[in-house]
Each structure stands twice: as C-alpha cells, then as structure tokens.
Structure 1
C-alpha cells in the first residue's frame, strides 16, 4: 500500500472514453488510512482533488491540476438479513457488474436489471444508476462515507442520500466532499422479476420464458445491452451521454401535437420523461461525427471516441447536439458525465 501519490500520472486507461490526459498526481486508494494521510498532509489537503472510481462517468477536457484519488477498496459479503431482505455489502472499488453477478451466484436476486452497467459500486449511489425499470434507490439500504472535513466516517441512509433521477446529495454542494467507502443493498427474499421495462419483457417473451429466474433476467439484460451499446474496451464511451429530459405535462402535450411519434413516459408526479436518444436520432445525429468524436450508429444516446478524440471534440459534439435538439423541440439536454 503506497501512501505517497505518484506525480505526473497518465489517465487514458482510467477513463472509459479513452481520452489522453495527465494528472499532477495520482494515488490508488486501497485502505481508508490512505485518505486520512492525504487529508492530514497540508500540501495535499490544499490541492484540488478528484475522486475516481471506474472512470465511466466523467469527461476529461484538460490535464488535471491536482490529485486523483482512485478508490480501489475491495470486498463483498452478505452481512445479514431479516424477514424481508438479504443485506449485501460491497466496497466502493468493486466492479459493479462483477458484484451483480456475485449476488446472483449467492442465489440472491434484486440487482439483475442493472447488469453490465460500467463503473464501480461506489458510483452507484452517487449517480443513482438505473436501467430497465430499476434504480439504485430502489434496492439501497445504507452506505459508509468518509468526510474529509472531520476525518471521520458516517453511515448514511436513503433519506440522507437525497436520491433523484441520476442524482444524489453527492453531486450537490453540501455532499460533494464526501467519499463513498462501501454500500449495503437490501435485496428481497420474496424475489419477483421486475419486468416493467417493455423491451426487457418482450425479449423474455421472444425467448419463450414465461416465469424468468433472476439469472435469466440478467442474461437477457446483458444481451440487450451488448446488442445496443459499445464495449468501452473497444470503443471509448461513457454509456448514455445525456439524461432523459423531464418536462411538464402541458409541454409534452404541445410537443405531441407537433410530433405525434414523440417517445415519452408518464411519471408518478404527472411529469413526462422524454427519450433523449429519440430526440437526438430525429435531429439526424445517429452515426455522425465531428472530428474523432461521434454518435454511436446503434444508439444515438451514446457518444464515442472513434480514435484519438480529445475532450474538447466530445464537448463540441455534445454542444452541437444540444443546440439542434433545443432548436427543434425546445428541450435542453443535460449531459450525464461530469466535465473535468
């Protein structure tokens, strides 16, 4: 375990977009004590710091002038249960997909709809990751976070995490400093398949599976994702680049009058969630490129590095897409990745 940061560190292999950039310094964090040491050091405590997990939800637009804290904490276990739930804990540095597959191997369902999402366990509550009818908040129990201001750890429940669509307290001013160390999930003992997402339900029907197991749901999700989305190990990308915009009911109704095929999904609060990929596709961006940055031909919601793209090229492409969608639909798309 190294407690001293490595200077002038290359970051290309640590971000799924594959953007070439460097950091002033880098520290691979495998023990909580390393964090204590960094924040006790007056030089590093005063330096800009970026907490990095799997590198799947940020875009490097320049070299980083401070210290990268790469959270690589490991460990996973079933920590108990009650009449209704299995409680399963994983360290923040665990690979998310590997963790999901591990829970299934223990005979515990509940996370299968989130199979094959890139990144680490620690990023799951920060981003409130979601796919195929399930979000982190739906299966979340608690987490442990390190507070650099006090040098102490704290347990946080769902209310304190303030989960929202692709959002949480960890992305807000009052929670951005907190570093997630581990996450505990409450997975139902009376498991039932979550087939609210129409594409997933249809894919199971086409396989002739009327009563799927958790493993069959996971395998189907994996197959769908592999068919639609590029592998970051082959084509640099950060998954879905834009959030699906949420608009009021009246605005959606007005859009439907002009665009009857508009893909939209009613929300419990009366708002409507629009399909960002559909909006981008209708503006003619699917498969197009600006420089070495492009829109994936099979899924307009994914921006890709076609080889040697800079962060600036990806930003220029994103801004061009935003401008076209806003001009045509009056809707501003919000990027999911954090721009660094």
Structure 2
C-alpha cells in the first residue's frame, strides 16, 4: 500500500534521452506537423520542417512562426523550414493529410525509419496509412503514432499520452524514444492495424458527435452515439486484424473522447456545423483545414460492406456528409431500428 504522496520505488528515475536521434524530417508543415516539430525540437534535435512549396518554407523561415496553422508559437533555431530535403536523417515523420501520403512517400529514402502520424484511410482503396506507405516504399522501417493528441495542447506542453505501434519492436521503441518528454508519455504496441483503425474511425465518429451537439441534443445522446460508435470501430477493426483491447486504449476510446468532445477538433467543429444546418461545402470552408472524417467515412463504409459488417452509425454519418440524408432524419432512422442485444466487441454489430 502506498503512503500519500509516495510513488513506487524507481518511478521518479525517469529520463528522456533521444535514442541516437539527432536529426528529424517532418513532412507536412500544417498545424500537426508544426506541433510535432516544436515538441521534438525541445529535446535538442535538428528538425527539418518540410513545407508544400519553396514560397511557403520561405514565409515560415522569415516569420519564425506558422501564422497560417499554428500562430503564436516561435520556431526555435533548430527547426529549419525547408522544401528541399536533406540527404539523410535519423527519423522521418509523415504529418500530411491522408490523401497526400501516397504523394509524399517517394520522398523517403530507402530503408529509412518512418513514423506515420497521419490518421485516416485512403478514400479510393480503404488502405491504412502504413499500407499506402509500404506500397510505395516497401523497404522502410515504419511505426505509427496515434492517441488523444490535439496539436495545440501538444505544443502548449499539456500532459498527455500517445501510443507508437510497429511490427518491429525496436522500431517502436526508437520512435517512441524520439517523442518521450516531460509532457508526453509514450506507450508502445505491436498492433499496427488496431492503432490505425482507432485513429482513423474516431474522426468519423467525432463528426457524428458534432452533429449531435449541433442539433441541440444533450450528453445522453452523444454518449450513446459514441458508445455504439466505439462498438462499430472495434468490430470493423478486429475484422481487419486489430486487437479488441487496442480500441479500449489511447488510440481507441482515448482518441475518440478527445476528438469528439473538444472544440479544438476539426472533425467535431465540422460536424457541429452540419448539425446547425450548414452544407458540407459550407462547413468545410468554415473549418478552413482538412477534415479527415470526410474521406475516411467513405472508405470505412466501403470496408464494412466488403467484410459483411453492418455499421449503422458510420453509414448515416457518411450519408449526411454526402448530402443524401438530413441529420434529423438520420437520428430517426437510428432510433427506430429493431431492438436487439447490446453484444460485445467481436459479435455482430447489428
């Protein structure tokens, strides 16, 4: 039994060394890529922050601030905005939108270490981000990062946790070590599929949470929707090879809770605008940044159909986004479905 204020022996002897990580390339200079660059730079690494054009890199370098996507945070000297890439680096982070992963994959050197931080599914294929990456660059060593990690809170140093998954244990530990610091606790996992499906599908469910709030419903409605959405996430994710316990962790329920409850979440803000009566085009324009839940909804519904899984929440959210179903009509359809046993993850979601 612990005495008050006393942690187990050894708990305070934590160190956060970089495991031979001296240089990092971050592909993607949006809010998320910039936040990760600032996080890693605090550990003394040289960070190359790759922008989409020479002009964008020059603006970042001149301002020493990402005024478009993460204003108010100074870029330290060891963060170098760039368009032309260095010949080599210890670790490469992919922090572009999901629909740009295939485009930037050829920029990665053969056999390099890559940490995938994009969350989504490729719209046309339903592939996860690491599957897309490995199709283009099969020789790389890849890990994936996911969890309740809102970029603005990361850069503010708010205590949080995340998970890094890889089929190569040493790669997972290497990438995790590059991220660990006083404000970010990093766990590791071998469940690459589960971690990615949680990170991708929560974006769709966060859109649904925003729709619920935009319609003026209460916490009962949103909690019910998210609980059943978590069930659909786990059923589809395990059908693809993920582990059910992963969806109960940081990249599943943890990320879902943060994304579906926070006004910092683009997916939540987008969904709320839909619930308030905006069209998809109007809501996307108002958010002003990529909303990953939009392409992922289409891919997720396609995967569910392919594997014979009924996913009513994912389906109606996709139909609302496509303009084929009004939000209140969607609620009526869901509430009037035939009653059945709640079931456990892995059982039929019908």
Task: Name the TM-score class by shorter chain.
Answer: under 0.3
More helix by share: 2
More strand by share: 1
* TM-score, normalization by structure 1: 0.27
* TM-score, normalization by structure 2: 0.26
